Amino acid sequence: MNKNAIEAAEGARLAVEVASEKQAVDIVLLDMRELCNFTDYFVILTGESRRQMQALVEDVDMALDAAGMLLHHREGSPEGGWVLLDYGDLIVHAFGPEEREFYSLEQLWSQAPVLFRVQ
């Protein structure tokens, strides 16, 4: 791991900050530490168009990369309405509005404490 890399909690806050600056809607930071063993935090956000989703994903990834967080895996596409960025202890989910409602991750993980929400 890069010795200058930030911790997952800092990365989660950075992802929220970048998403907020880029006009994502309904941004949620969930604390997953007590509920699962594959990650510590989820950041869930919605882009109102496919173009905005692409920009959000690129900007969040660039900011986290610059902060020293390594992207382990990327899944999905803005065209499909969902993109997952997996940084190990932090997973960022970017959704289109319909996909966000359909997958309803907040309900699926309703036991997770909400650390931060921007609507």
Whole-model pTM: value is: 0.93
Mean pLDDT of the chain: 94
105 pLDDT band, cuts 50/70/90, is very high
> 8-118: CATH homologous superfamily?
Beta Polymerase, domain 2 (3.30.460.10)
* DSSP state letter for 55: H
**12-42 confidence digits (pLDDT tens):** 999 999 999 999 999 999 999 999 999 999 9
Separation between Cα atoms, residue 96 and residue 25, nearest integer Å: 10
Residue 1 has a pLDDT of 45
Question: What secondary structure does DSSP assign to 70-92, as a single string?
Answer: ---EEEEEGGGTEEEEE-SSEEE
| 94 CA to centre of own chain | 6
Neighbour-count burial of 4, counting CB atoms closer than 10 A to its CB (0-12 exposed, 13-18 middle, 19+ buried): exposed
Ordered by start, the domain boundaries in the chain are 8-118
